[in-house]
Amino acid sequence: MAAPNNQPPAPENASSLSPSEARDIFRVNKYYGTTAGFCMDYVQANLVVVPSSLADELKEFCARNSAALPVLYVSQTGETGAPPLAKDSDVRTDIPRYIIFSHGRQVHDMLDLHGFDWKDCVSFYLGCSFSFEKPLLDAGLSISHLKDKKLVSIYVSGIDCYDVGERLRGVKMTLTMRPINKKQLLDAVAITSCYPVSAHGAPIHIGDPSLIGIEDIHTDAMGSTAVIPEGMVPVFWACGVTVREAMKALGADLSFTHYPGSMFITDVTTDSTKKEPTSDSEKPVVIQISPSQRPYWGSVLSVEAQRKIQALEEIILDDPNSCNVREIREEGDYLKSLLVLSHSQYIGLIFGFPANSLIQSGASPLDFTCEETDGPPGAFSLVQALQTLSKKVAIISEKRNEELVKKCSDFLMSSGALKSPLDFISCEEILQSELLDFDVLLSIERSGKAQDGCNYTCKGRDITKLLDPIDELFKREQKSNRLITISIGDRGNELGLGRVRDKVNKYMNGGPQYGCDISSDYVILSGVSNWGGYALSSGLYLLANCPVHSRYVKRGVNVDEKNASSIADFIPTDHQASGVLKVLNDLGVCDGISKSFDQSVDNQPLAVHLEKLKKMREIV
C-alpha cells in the first residue's frame, strides 16, 4: 500500500505501549509516522532488505561502519520474522512506513511490503538511537524532538564510511542531531556509550557542524527546521539512515529500507543491552577544544588517558632553570593541544631561536645555522608521532635552516624514526601565501616579538634582524579563525606566549621587557621546550591507544582495527634523541645557555633529557 501524504497523530499512550501492541497498530496501517517516543523501554531497529547475493557485502560494510550500522540480527534468506528480536513479527508489515529502491534510486514510499516476492530477501536489523532516549530522559536531559513531537534532525554529513567491495564506496555517513545542554554533555556521552549495539553508542561529533561537512544546521536532510537554543550544543550520533546512502551505492534491482524515523520495535528491553564501563579506560571525559571565541567543538577521551596525560605534564613542569613555568602555565592547555593535534590532518611546526655565540647583536647571518639545541629536537619528535598517525607535517623556519632540517631528516630516516623525509618550508615562502592548508600551526621555542616589536633573548639581546617576521602569520591567523595555533615555551619570550603575558610579567625576570606580546590559542609551558615536544608525542601515543578517543576521532569507522604502532614509533629512542643532538652540534647548533656543543640543552646534560624520555615511556 502506498503511503499517503498526511501524518496521523501518534496514540496518546504510545510511550507505554508494548512492542506487540505497537506492531499491531502498524500492521493495519493505523499509524505511519515516526516511532520516536513509542515503547520507551524497548530497543528499536533500522531495517534494510537486500537480495541474498548482496548480503555478504552489506554485512562487511556494517562491520566496518559499526557506529552507524550496528547489527542486531541478520535474517535467513526468505525469512520474514526476527525470532531473537520479536515473537510473531513480520518484517513486511510491522514497520509504519518503508522506502522502495530500484537500481539505487528511491522510487516509492509504502505502508507495507506484502506485494513483493520475499524468497530471495535477506533482512538486516540495525540498532537505532531512539533506544537510548529513555535513559537520557531518565537522567534529566531534554530531548527537543520528543517534546515537540517531531522527527529527530537527520543530516547527510561529509564523513566517509569505510569502503567495501567495488560498489560500497564513497558512502557518506548519515547522522542524527540532538541539542544538549553544555553542562550535560558528559551525561549524554556517558549514557549513550553504554548502548554500542542497540543504539549507535556514544556521539561521533560534538559541536561545530561545519567540521563534519554540515554547512546549514538549520535545515536537515529531511527538510525539518533545527533550532539550537542558547546554552545548548549540537551533538551528533551515527545514524542507521546511512543505509539509504548504501542502497544508492549498491544499486540492486530491488531493495527496501525503513522510512527515516519509522522503526521496527523489538521485544528486547533497552536495559538488557546496557554495557556498563568496567574500568577507567572505558569511562569518558568531554573536553572543549575549540578556542573560546569560536563555535563549541568538543572531544572525548577516557578517565585513564586523562590521568596519564596529567602525569606527563607533571614531568615537563620540572623547572631546572627556575623560570616559574608551573606558575605561568595555562590550566588545561596541554590536554587541549593534544586533542587538537589528534583531530588535525596537516600541521605546520615552527622553530627558530638564534643563540650561537658567533652572532653579534644586530647582525643578519643568513648563510649559516645559528639556532640553539632547544626546539628542533622537540619538533622532530613531534613529526615522528604525527607521521605514525598518517598526518601531513611541515617544518617551517628560516631558509638558512633548510640544510639543518635535511641533515636531521637523513639521520632520523636511517634510524627508523621517520616514515618519510621532513618537509621544509621557509618562513619567507609561508608569509607570501594568502591561504594556508594547515589545520594547526605549532611553534616550539620560537622567538616571539615583545611589545616594542623586537625579538629578545632572555638576557635582553635584540635578535630581531636574525628572524623572519613569522609572528605576522600568527596574528593574521588569529584574526581569521581559520586554524588553531599552539605554542611551546619555557621563558615567556617565545612566540605565542602573549596568551600568558600577565603571568610572564609577574613571574619572569625581565618579562615586561622581553616577554612575547603575540598570543596563540593554546600554550604549553615546559622546563625545557624540547620536553614539551616529547610530551606531545607521548600523549599522542596514549590517545591512539585510548578506545574512547580512538572511536571518536575515527567517527566510529573501522573502530575494530587495532593500532599496531609501538611506543618507539611515537617517542624517540635514546639513540635517536642523542643522535639528533649530535647532528645539530656538528652543524653549529649550540646550547642556548652554556653555548656548548656537547649534546646539552638549556644547560642540562644529555642524561637529564634521556631520563625525561624514560619517565614518559614508563607512564604511557
Closest CA to 22 of 3, 4, 41: 41
Q: CB of 347 within 8 A of CB of 393?
A: yes
User: What CATH code is carried by the domain that includes residue 154?
Assistant: 3.30.2040.10
The C-alpha cell of 303 is what? 578517565
Strand partners, 393: 347
Q: Give the range of the structural domain holding residue 114, as residue numbers without chain letter.
A: 15-272
- 214 domain-assigned: yes
CA distance 106 to 116: 16
Q: 363-385: b or e for each residue (b if 16 or more CB lie within 10 Å)? A: eebeeebbbbbbbbbbbbbbbbb
Same domain, 168 and 307: no
Same domain, 166 and 294: no
pLDDT score recorded for residue 101: 95
Same domain, 315 and 222: no
Determine the distance from the C-alpha atom of residue 4 to the mean position of all C-alpha atoms in its chain, rounded to a whole number: 42
Same domain, 157 and 110: yes
CA dist 120 → 241, 254, 465, 483, 495 (Å): 23, 11, 77, 52, 66
607 half-sphere exposure, CB direction, 13 A CA radius: 0
Same domain, 267 and 314: no
- 37 domain-assigned: yes
Q: CB of 583 within 8 A of CB of 408?
A: yes
pLDDT score recorded for residue 510: 86
- 555 domain-assigned: yes
Q: CB of 324 within 8 A of CB of 508?
A: yes
3-state secondary structure 531-550: HHHHHHHHHHHHHHCCHHHH
Tens-place pLDDT, residues 521-569: 999 999 999 999 999 999 999 999 999 999 999 999 988 777 778 999 9
Provide the domain count of the chain.
Answer: 2
pLDDT score recorded for residue 363: 45
User: What CATH code is carried by the domain that includes residue 469?
Assistant: 3.90.1640.20
pLDDT score recorded for residue 213: 95
Q: Which of 238, 272, 306 is the last residue of a domain?
A: 272
- The DSSP H or E segment spanning 478 is helix 471-480
- C-alpha triplet 509, 512, 515: angle, nearest 5°: 85
What backbone phi and psi angles, to 5 degrees, belong to 26?
-65, -35
Tens-place pLDDT, residues 370-412: 899 999 999 999 999 999 999 999 999 999 999 999 999 999 9
Same domain, 263 and 340: no
End-to-end Cα spacing for the chain:
60
pLDDT score recorded for residue 366: 45
Whole-model pTM?
0.94
Residues of the chain with pLDDT under 70: 1-6, 223, 356-369
